[in-house]
Amino acid sequence: MFMPDNSVNRPRTLATGAALLVAGIALTAFGWSTPALVLAVKALLFLLGLAVTYQGLSRLLLGIRGKRTDLLFNLAMIWLVGIVLAAILAPVLPLGEHNNVAATLYEPINMSPQLLTDHPLGTNNQGLDLLSRSIYGARTSLVISLLAIAIGTVVGGSIGVIAGYFRKGTDSIIGIFTNALLAVPPLILLIALSTFLTPSTRNLAFALSLLSIPGMVRLARANTIAFAQREFVMAARLMGATRFRIMLRELVPNVVLPVFSMAVVMISVLIVAEASLSFLGLGIQQPDPTWGNMVAEGEGGAMEDYPHIVLVPGTFLFLTVFAFNLLGEKAQQRWDTRSAKL
Amino acid sequence: MAGSGTAHMRPDADPVLSVDQMVVEFPVGRRQVVHAVSGMNIDLLPGETLGILGESGCGKSSAGRAIMQEPSPTKGSVRLQGTELTGLRSADLRRKRARMQMIMQDPVSSLNPRRKVHALVAEGLKIWGFDGDDLDTAIRETLVAVGLDPDAVWDRRPHELSGGQCQRVCIARALMMNPDVLICDEPVSALDVSVQAQILNLLERTKQNYDLSMIFIAHDVSVVKNISDRVMVLYLGKTCEVLPSNDMHVRAVHPYSRTLIASIPGGEEIASTDDPVVGDLAAEKPQSAGVTELPSPLNPPSGCRFRTRCPLATDLCAAEEPELREIATGHFVACHHVAVDGAGPAAAAGAAAAGADPASPGDPAVGVA
Amino acid sequence: MNANNDLVLEVNDLRTTFLTPRGPVGAVDGVSMSLRAGETLGIVGESGSGKSVLGRTVMGLIADNPTTRVSGEVRIGGHDVHAITPRERRRLWGPEVAMVFQDPMTSLNPVKKVGTHITEALRLHLKLDKAEAHARAVELLRQVFIPEAERRMRQYPHELSGGMRQRVVIAMALACDPKLLIADEPTTALDVTVQKQILDLLATLAAERNMATILISHDLGAVEGRTDRVAVMYAGRTVETSRTSRVFHAPEHPYAEALLASIPRLDDDPHTVLRAIEGTPPNLLNPPVGCRFAPRCRFTVDRCRTEDPALRELGDATGATHLAACHFPLVASGDRAAESSAGEPANAAATASPTQEVN
């Protein structure tokens, strides 16, 4: 009854895809491993190589599967899975030294990234391995932001459902608190908190959760109000369900999906917020690495001379945030428009 | 029309549900009030089906919800098996009200999209603490009773079912509560024509098998006539006419009832012959076509609320609100211009219709009582 | 361009297929029809029968795009709607064809005044100046029986009742004197007493202007008595089309017959068991082989489940065409059909009631 659209010329797509892929990988590897060139040129070659690799890969996939795949999304997921696995397994991976300065006395300092060396991503001014520091940094960043988002989702979500279901007085009081929280600039709030909280993982997660709570309250409240007007809620009341049961059994299962997809998007905001705090020296303290305090090492002229010190943790941060955003977008498409079915 | 009064009440009978002088008003901005229902009286006998007929905005849905105390009426009383529901503490209300269940218009919206069919149907009993193996058997029996194959739908979610199937699930869910009274608020108007008939048949059958009394709220005269024993015509929150459903399309005499009947296809032929009311309405066309709009329930007309659209309206209608009067056995009308003795212009039709069937065997309301 | 010049609309083998992630859905699957000036065609069917998609495809609102395939031919005013550019298509909207939708509120822009809605179309298509457009708009509002037309011109859509809004929408559709008006469920969102007024209005206007009208509705009552011909759709196809009174009084297709019998009638006694059509319309992702109504039909035999019946001429006493897609048409094939279609629906209901208990 219908034909698959624009029939793909498979052999040709496959051939160009493979050629681009090989060229791209070669270019990337050369840019990364060559000791001969200045860093700027190396970085340029590296990025160019990545772009060509990406093109090659997407063509290959199109040729093999016969339909378009969301390659960017798949790559982002591979990155996320990779970084999470690496973060979990960091202590058992054969990584360089990440925080013990005493052990790196004989290591080269400020070494620029070279693929086939002991330090594929280079070292910092104390000879600590940047790959190792980035992965241990991921550990801290991810633990803090996931913990913060978990607190934010549970607390904010519950408050939102309560406000949305009871409305009236409860809603106004909760509204005042959330608006007050939103009115304080987040960074100032965090700085204020850091004056009396010692910077530990737990305290940072607690402080950052305050950033996510107002948004969660609003989202959960709006969704609760929408669902509470649906007739199934009235049907439950007519059967004799208590208010608690209605919130727990009828409303929460419906509100949870949009709240979760929002949480995924918010993780990236929290990762950035955590990095900003650490950058300002208010987060986890040196020599323990986080992406924020690693970027801060570029201060005082180091960035001009050794840009990789900033670029390496910056890239980790960028890619992770980008990947979480893509995931969040997909989640919202999927879960916020559940009713749109055909 | 659009009158008040209690002439249609049957004080000797033992109603399962009685509604007395119920008023439902909603405040809207600037101290205005929507008069959704103004003084409604209902007595529903065991095994009886009362149809409530009217256009949107006539207060029929507000009335249904007020009977269920969702929300409670502004004034008046609602008694279910002798227990006054208005003003009950919420814990008592939860318990008492469970004997009364409601079927709503939009079956998809009435079902939690995240739950599966078996959980939806079981919910009522679970709320009251029933559980165990018996529960599954009960669910299966009820699903079969509403015409669903338990194995096929057991693990489905509402969006995987058609509208008609969802409405069957809603009916099954209500039946699990073993109710005495079922209030159906436009239960078929969101469904396809071919499915409407399935659900109407199912409701009729269910009513008999489960010994239910039913209030059936709808805008469609044919549908209401098909399922009801007694029909109450509502206009802007007031009762116009209460009559047995039997031959109601020829017996109805209230000008508004006649307008409703004339509006439906096939109703024109029935109405046009020697019907002064519809005759007048027809003569007014097309000029009247533009102005027969429902007045605002914020500020309903004085006297008879239908007078602004009524071809028979006189000064009396503006000054004085008509009361329900009996014009034939079980047939009550609130209109100044319909008279038992044939004085009013519409009375000829009314008297003729009423007199045509003096034995009146088709008075199901009385019959059931 | 056409052999038959007074044909306002000609549709040949129109197919609209939505390419969904779960597979192609043939919402309209090979529909043909034609309409003369002044003629009124009713298209009836349940939701999912493809009647609304058909209306929109005829109008050109649904066109070929990456997720929708449209094939076949729709000729309006000598143009093939799906062969011309979107720009040329827009030029047809107004003077050649206009549409009235179900929900008048979504057809009107809430921040524009009633007058602006109508004058805009007039000035764009007919190149009238401001005063002329205003005068013509007031005239149009009068023609659709809107009282105090001058005052209404200055009101916003939310200040009008549903019936009034639908009148405004109709006035907009009529602004450029279309030769064809497609009304898609024009009264579904309205009250019973208002529905009749709007349907009467449409009939009056069509007669005055010798305008061809397509009335799409799920409400059989709305279509009966207000259309010359009727097409019954089921699962994307026309199953029967003929003179309206013929379809309503002596349908050939079991679906048309069952659909008519399933409606409660005013003159039936209370508590009459209705003859419901059991089951649900087919899933168009995976339509049944053979006749699409076979799984729900009372008369199904093996042939119905294997062989797809073509729409064929069955003849009509008046000489008009009467097409139905059934291997065993009710009236034309005599015996078994005779009593079920000639008899009262009420009687038919009684005989059919045992099947009721199955589902």
Q: How far is CA A58 from CA A53, A325, C178, in A?
A: 9, 21, 50
Quick one: how far is CA B51 from the chain centroid? Answer: 4
The conformation of residue C282, written as its DSSP 8-state character, comes to P
Residue C54's pLDDT is 93
C217, C185 Cβ separation under 8 angstroms? yes
Average pLDDT over residues B180-204: 89
B209, B141 Cβ separation under 8 angstroms? no
Residue A47's pLDDT is 81
CA distance C270 to A250: 39
Residue B270's pLDDT is 53
8 Å CB contact of C147 and B260: no
Comparing C-alpha atoms, which of C193, C110, A69 is closest to residue B236? Answer: C193
Q: Which residues of C touch B221 (CB under 8 A)?
A: 192, 266
Residues 6+ apart with CB under 8 A from C320: C242, C243, C246
Q: Which residues of A touch B100 (CB under 8 A)?
A: 238
B350, B255 Cβ separation under 8 angstroms? no
Q: What is the pLDDT of residues A233-244, one digit of tens each?
A: 999 989 888 889
User: Could you tell me if residue C311 is left (phi over 0), alpha (psi between -120 and 50 degrees) or otherwise beta?
Assistant: beta
Q: What is the pLDDT of residues B322-346, one digit of tens each?
A: 888 888 888 999 988 876 544 444 4
Q: What is the pLDDT of residues C258-316, one digit of tens each?
A: 998 888 888 888 888 888 888 888 888 888 889 999 998 888 899 999 988 988 888 77
Q: Which residues of B touch A336 (CB under 8 A)?
A: none
Q: What is the pLDDT of residues C203-235, one digit of tens each?
A: 988 999 999 999 999 888 888 888 999 999 999
Residues of chain A with pLDDT under 70: 1-9, 34-37, 39, 66-69, 103-105, 113-116, 301-302, 336-342
Smallest CA–CA distance from A6 into chain C, residue: C66
- Window A:283-342, CB contacts with C under 8 Å: 342
Quick one: how far is CA B308 from the chain centroid? Answer: 24
Report whether pLDDT(B51) > 90: yes
Residue B244's pLDDT is 92
Biggest alpha carbon–alpha carbon distance for chain C: 68
Q: Is B179 on the interface with A (CB under 8 A)?
A: no
Average pLDDT over residues B184-203: 88
Residues 6+ apart with CB under 8 A from B22: B37, B39, B40, B41, B42, B63, B66, B67, B73, B75, B76, B77, B78
Report whether pLDDT(B291) > 80: no
CA distance B42 to B64: 11
Residue A116's pLDDT is 67
Instruction: Work out the mean pLDDT of chain C and round it to a whole number.
Output: 84
Q: Distance from C283 to chain A by nearest Cα, in Å?
A: 10
**Which residue intervals of chain C bear CATH 3.40.50.300?**
34-63+75-219
Report the share of chain B in percent with pLDDT over 70.
82
Task: Please tell me which of the candidates A1, A5, A342 has its beta carbon nearest to residue C20.
Answer: A342
A 10 A CB-CB count for C16 gives: 25
Q: Distance from B56 to chain C by nearest Cα, in Å?
A: 6
- Count helices and strands in chain B by DSSP H and E runs: 15, 12
Question: Does domain C34-63+75-219 bear CATH number 3.40.50.300?
Answer: yes
B256, B322 Cβ separation under 8 angstroms? no
8 Å CB contact of B98 and A236: no
Residue C279's pLDDT is 80
Residue A68's pLDDT is 67
Q: Which residues of A touch B97 (CB under 8 A)?
A: 238, 240
Q: Is C292 on the interface with B (CB under 8 A)?
A: no
Residue C211's pLDDT is 93
User: Could you tell me if residue B273 is left (phi over 0), alpha (psi between -120 and 50 degrees) or otherwise beta?
Assistant: beta
Q: How confident is the model at residue B361 (pLDDT cuts 50, 70, 90)?
A: very low
The conformation of residue C103, written as its DSSP 8-state character, comes to -
Q: Which residues of A touch B (CB under 8 A)?
A: 230-232, 234-242, 245, 249-250, 253-254, 338-339, 341
Cross-strand pairs, B77: B20
For C197, list phi and psi in degrees, rounded to 5. -60, -45
Average pLDDT over residues B221-227: 92
Q: Distance from C249 to chain A by nearest Cα, in Å?
A: 36
**3-state SS assignment for residue B250:** helix
Comparing C-alpha atoms, which of B184, B221, B289, B232 is closest to residue C221? Answer: B221
8 Å CB contact of B263 and C192: yes
Among A81-95, B16-30, B129-143, B288-302, name the one with the lowest average pLDDT. Answer: B288-302
Average pLDDT over residues B69-94: 88
**3-state SS assignment for residue B209:** helix
Two structure tokens written together for C285: 């992702």
CA distance C305 to C293: 9
Q: Which residues of C touch B293 (CB under 8 A)?
A: 161, 163-164, 194
8 Å CB contact of B197 and C263: yes
C224, C256 Cβ separation under 8 angstroms? no
Smallest CA–CA distance from B251 into chain C, residue: C267
Tokens 């996320």 belong to: A80
Alpha-helical runs (H) found in C26-129: 51-59, 86-92, 104-107, 114-126
Which pairs from A1-7 meet CB under 8 Å and 24+ separation? A1/C17, A1/C24, A1/C26, A2/C17, A2/C19, A2/C24, A2/C69, A4/A66, A4/A67, A5/C19, A5/C66
A239, B124 Cβ separation under 8 angstroms? yes
Average pLDDT over residues B178-200: 89
Residue C184's pLDDT is 92
How many Cα atoms sit within 13 Å of B297 on the Cβ side?
Answer: 23
For A273, list phi and psi in degrees, rounded to 5. -65, -40
Comparing C-alpha atoms, which of C241, C239, C249, C348 is closest to residue C298? Answer: C348
Q: What does the DSSP assignment read for B282-328?
A: HHHTTGGGGT-PPPPTTSPPSSSTTTTT-TT--HHHHHSPPBPEEEE
First-to-last C-alpha distance (Å) of chain B? 27
Residue A134's pLDDT is 87
Two structure tokens written together for B343: 């004085």
Q: Which residues of A touch C66 (CB under 8 A)?
A: 5
8 Å CB contact of C356 and B201: yes
CA distance A311 to A314: 5
Q: How far is CA C62 from CA C86, C141, C231, C295, in A?
A: 11, 29, 21, 30
For A37, list phi and psi in degrees, rounded to 5. -105, 165
Average pLDDT over residues B112-136: 87
C49, C232 Cβ separation under 8 angstroms? no
Among A210-219, A316-325, B29-38, B292-301, name the one with the lowest average pLDDT. Answer: B292-301
Best of A167, A168, A232, A335 to disrupt the B interface (most B CBs within 10 Å) is A232
Average pLDDT over residues C129-158: 88
Higher local confidence (pLDDT), C293 or B314: C293
Q: Which residues of B touch C273 (CB under 8 A)?
A: 201, 204
CA distance A98 to A95: 8
Task: Please tell me which of the candidates A231, A241, A339 has its beta carbon nearest to residue B127.
Answer: A241
CA distance C177 to C96: 8
Beta strands in chain C (DSSP E): 7-20, 23-36, 40-44, 68-76, 79-80, 97-100, 180-184, 212-217, 229-234, 237-243, 312-313, 323-324
Task: Please tell me which of the candidates C22, C66, C69 has its beta carbon nearest to residue A2.
Answer: C69
